[in-house]
Chains A and B, each alone.
Chain A
Amino acid sequence: MKSNVFELRQAAYAHQPGHNIFESISFDIAAGESVAVLGANGSGKSTLLKILCGLLHPQAGSLKVFGETISEELLEDDAFSQRFHRRVGFIFQSSDVQLFNNRVEDEIAFGPSQLGLPEREVRRRTADMLKMLDIEHLKERPPYRLSGGEKRKVALAAVLILNPEALILDEPGAGLDPKTQRWLTHLLLELNRRGRTIVLSTHNLEMAHTVTQRSLVLSEDHRLVFDGATPQVLSDRALLSQVNLIDEFTHEHDEKSHIHLYTHG
């Protein structure tokens, strides 16, 4: 039996007191699963993902990650925080906030050097990451001068170098050109095949279709309205248009099973 990586129970969350975004959300995500969080803009995808990775703490309900109940106090403990953040990696929606070093290479090496890995190991892993993400030519550059897609790659490298067991990505495909999107899809599939748990938010149905087996769908009023197989939700046009992920202009190509939907962005 597979163990659960995330267990969210009756979680309620409010960004501002008295304005609950989530009233009561519950679900489990098992080790090795790949899950899409689908929803229109403002439906609460980013908020939900930040709860999962311990950046926001539900005001009611509970979150267990790798079997441990997560709390704000617990994460203030350095040793725990260290273990937690190594096992759960998070890619922010905006890569800008994630990059703060002066050189791409230092940016990528930051995490493992924090962990106290031997210098040689850090250098080896950094070189591997530069190669894997095909950004070797950028290693001397300051991250904030890069293009959006390049920044996203650096952010990915900076997180993947910690070899996290679970990877949470907030709209990873947004702002990438089609080729880079395909490349990213491929990478995520490969990581999932190697046992990583993947949770990603998107309103790109194609990416959800290719990468994930399961989908959680958030309605515009922040309720979890669907939790089930991705192919099932993608064929449920009524649901998709109810949560404003497709509109009436959406069409499908004649070639069956080829998903090509216009989505709200």
Chain B
Amino acid sequence: MELFIPEWLNETDPRVYSNAKAGGGRFLVKSLRSLNSIMVDDLTAEKWARQEGLLQALSADYKIAGCIIMLVALSLMRDYRLLLALWGVSLALMMASRLPVLTLQKRIWGIIPLITVIVTLPAALNLVSDGTPLLILYQGSVNGPAALANPIFITRQGMQAVTILFLRSGISLSMVALLVMTTKVSGLFKSLQSIGIPAHFTFIVEMSYRYLIMLLKISIEMYEARRMRTVGRLTYRQQAALLGSSLGFLFAQSMQLSSEVFQAMTARCYSIERFRDTYAADMLSDSFTPMTPGQLLIDRSK
């Protein structure tokens, strides 16, 4: 058999290539690892839902109803004192359910509410909606171009609106976290069904949930694979660019995967109608062991 082997592969290469400094950490690897442990370990293992606590003891039906009521109430509330009180309630519930309050608070307030603030902050400027000055950013100038003549400031009203949005999104997240973390997935889906949501819909949601976990596992493996070859130190920008391209890749792959998953289901005579009538109830019962993402992956690689 003809085989071309380049000369440089003939010998092992003892040179030490290095463009990395000793001691450098790996920000993204670390954050991915921790994401992994949150999502895959905590969530799939239903670690918190299995322990004893106030909300764990409550039926999923009540929790779902309570959560919906809270979310509606939150969206109507405009008084930040009421919002703070609700936040206090969520904290008390977390403690009573023996959830890791501090870690949770960091995660809850660290991402989505912050993004809300960044996105809505311009609305607090007098350029968008007028109001009384709270913090003046730019004094204005009389002898510059006309566009720069007026002062720019953060308005009191705007700031209030942003704060309320911030509180609302954080507290809503807390409520959802309370529901999701204290309820076993199977119980959650069964309850959704019992409050009248059709079985094939909850089935699709449940599939998506498992599917998401699987994608997460793939993305972590991808990241490991990359780490094996990312032997150089990346700048923050490069890391971000890579993250971007791998998200794109992941998306492309997930499209392909989902069509393959669908093909696999069809190949096993999947039909939504029949499925709803015969299998959905079984699949959502406690005795059903969900296919782990790993299994799906292994099956797929054969």
Contact between A86 and B17, CB atoms less than 8 A apart: yes
B218 within 8 A of A: yes
Main secondary structure of the interface of A (DSSP, over half): helix
Partner of B17, one of A41, A82, A125: A82
Q: How far is the CA of A80 from the CA of B233 in the complex (A)?
A: 11
Contacts of A78 in B (CB 8 A): 20-26, 233
Partner of B302, one of A101, A117, A175, A182: A175
B18 within 8 A of A: yes
Contact between A94 and B228, CB atoms less than 8 A apart: no
Contact between B4 and A100, CB atoms less than 8 A apart: no
Q: How far is the CA of A98 from the CA of B253 in the complex (A)?
A: 12
Contacts of A131 in B (CB 8 A): 4, 6
A58 within 8 A of B: no
Q: How far is the CB of B41 from chain A (nearest CB, A)?
A: 8
Contact between A174 and B302, CB atoms less than 8 A apart: yes
**Contacts A100-B222, A100-B226 known; A163 to B21 CB distance under 8 Å?**
no
Contact between A77 and B23, CB atoms less than 8 A apart: yes
Contacts of B3 in A (CB 8 A): 132, 183, 186-187, 190
Partner of B5, one of A77, A96, A116, A190: A190
Contact between B302 and A115, CB atoms less than 8 A apart: no
Which A residue sits closest to B25, measured CB to CB?
A76
Which A residue sits closest to B6, measured CB to CB?
A128
Contacts of B9 in A (CB 8 A): 128, 132, 160, 163, 191, 194
B288 within 8 A of A: no
* Residues 66 to 90 of chain A near chain B (Cβ within 8 Å): 76-83, 85-86, 89-90
Q: How large is the interface on A (under 10, 10 to 19, 20 to 34, 35 or more residues)?
A: 35 or more
User: How does the 8 Å CB contact mask read for A229-265 relative to B, with 1 for contact and 0 for none?
Assistant: 0000000000000000000000000000000000001
Contact between B246 and A93, CB atoms less than 8 A apart: no
Contact between A114 and B232, CB atoms less than 8 A apart: yes
Contacts of B23 in A (CB 8 A): 77-79
A153 within 8 A of B: no
Contacts of A76 in B (CB 8 A): 25-26, 29-30
A165 within 8 A of B: yes
**Contacts A100-B246, A186-B3 known; A163 to B218 CB distance under 8 Å?**
no
B289 within 8 A of A: no
**Contacts A100-B246, A194-B10 known; A114 to B22 CB distance under 8 Å?**
no
* Residues 1 to 35 of chain B near chain A (Cβ within 8 Å): 1, 3-6, 8-13, 16-26, 29-30
A92 within 8 A of B: yes
Contact between A97 and B17, CB atoms less than 8 A apart: no
Contacts of A94 in B (CB 8 A): 221, 297, 300-301
Q: How far is the CA of A118 from the CA of B160 in the complex (A)?
A: 55
Contact between A77 and B24, CB atoms less than 8 A apart: yes
Partner of B21, one of A79, A85, A183: A79
Partner of A125, one of B6, B18, B229: B6
* Residues 207 to 233 of chain B near chain A (Cβ within 8 Å): 218, 221-222, 224-233
Q: How far is the CB of B218 from chain A (nearest CB, A)?
A: 6
Contact between A132 and B5, CB atoms less than 8 A apart: yes
Contact between A81 and B227, CB atoms less than 8 A apart: yes
**Contacts A78-B26, A144-B256, A182-B1 known; A163 to B18 CB distance under 8 Å?**
no
Q: How far is the CB of B110 from chain A (nearest CB, A)?
A: 22
* Residues 17 to 39 of chain A near chain B (Cβ within 8 Å): none
Q: How far is the CB of A137 from chain B (nearest CB, A)?
A: 15
B142 within 8 A of A: no
Contact between A92 and B225, CB atoms less than 8 A apart: yes
Q: How far is the CA of A164 from the CA of B143 in the complex (A)?
A: 67
Contact between B18 and A98, CB atoms less than 8 A apart: no
A55 within 8 A of B: yes
A16 within 8 A of B: yes
Contact between A82 and B229, CB atoms less than 8 A apart: no
Partner of A111, one of B45, B231, B256, B301: B231
B245 within 8 A of A: yes
**Contacts A78-B22, A144-B252 known; A132 to B6 CB distance under 8 Å?**
yes
Contact between A55 and B252, CB atoms less than 8 A apart: no
Contacts of A55 in B (CB 8 A): 224, 228
The 5 A-B residue pairs with the shortest CB-CB distance in the complex, in nearest-first order: A128-B6, A116-B19, A78-B20, A78-B24, A114-B232
14 pairs, A vs B, C-beta closer than 8 Å = A78-B21, A78-B26, A79-B21, A81-B26, A82-B233, A89-B228, A94-B297, A97-B218, A114-B232, A132-B6, A158-B229, A174-B301, A190-B3, A194-B11
Chain B: residues with CB nearer than 8 A to chain A?
A: 1, 3-6, 8-13, 16-26, 29-30, 41, 45, 218, 221-222, 224-234, 242, 245-246, 248-249, 252-253, 256, 297-298, 300-302
